[in-house]
Amino acid sequence: MDDRLRLAYLEAYLERIGVSPEDFTRSGRALDAAALAALHRAHLMTVPFENLSIHLSEPISLDEPDLLAKVVSRRRGGFCYELNGCFALLLEALGAEVTRVAARVYGENGPGAPFAHMALAVRLADGSGPWLADVGFGSHTTYPLALRSRSLQQDPGGGYLLADADGGDLDVLRDGQPQYRLELRGRALADFVPTCWYQQTSPRSHFTRGTICSMLAADGRISISDRTLIRTTAGVRTEEPLVGDAALLAAYLDNFGIALDRAPEVPPG
């Protein structure tokens, strides 16, 4: 991306995630490990994981200007390619070295298809890292993980372990359960375009089978799954049906700041 375009979005992006631009753009502060952790948490608490574009017949583009326009200007969320794609641009604009890495998500039969997920390996100017940053896997870590550590790493999201796997890959485990298998070679965002297209078009993709909009909250998590508002507070889950389009649209706006002019079309059960 052209540096001028990236910098044009920098202050607006920081404001989008509730961070004062003065902390970085006007103070000359370097992006250190503590700042990365704060940005990671702030992103998770302000930019939702959501697949609404698929059910609004909005094409999903991984072109960098389109990603920034959606997340920053239109104040929407997205799924992994969009969220981590955008977060990478923010970190790079703040001086980090970011490598986009592919992952295979675990299912009942082990790791699934290549490129099903994208995460970030981040190295900082203070010499720390690499860090595994991931703001696009739904309910996951609140803070980045030390990519080279093979010890248990405690996070508000659970106990995480990175374990060596075949071929130099890494398994990411949460509370002992494998989440995804990470490939450490660097990839271009364009490498994820075919799988992104599959995820938004195939009837076999779980993203086409229903809507989800979910975000970390200070005391838990808040989600809208199809037409149900779900709150998890201190481990206690409550559900509230959203009856009618007006209630659904109001819930998107009130809880996620997403203003829609029509309801996403949820496939029949």
Active site residues: 80, 117, 134
- What letter would DSSP give residue 31? -
* Residue 205 burial by Cβ neighbours in a 10 Å radius (0-12, 13-18, 19+): middle
* Residue 154 burial by Cβ neighbours in a 10 Å radius (0-12, 13-18, 19+): exposed
Tokens of 46: 């302000």
Q: How many CB atoms lie within 10 A of CB 186?
A: 12
CA atoms within 13 A on the CB side of 136: 25
Does residue 139 contact residue 214 with C-beta atoms inside 8 Å?
yes
Helices (DSSP H) in the chain: which residue ranges?
3-16, 33-46, 52-55, 64-68, 80-93, 193-201, 245-256
> Inter-axis angle of helices 80-93 and 33-46, to 10 degrees?
140
Q: Which of 163, 131, 159 is nearest to 150 (CA)?
A: 163
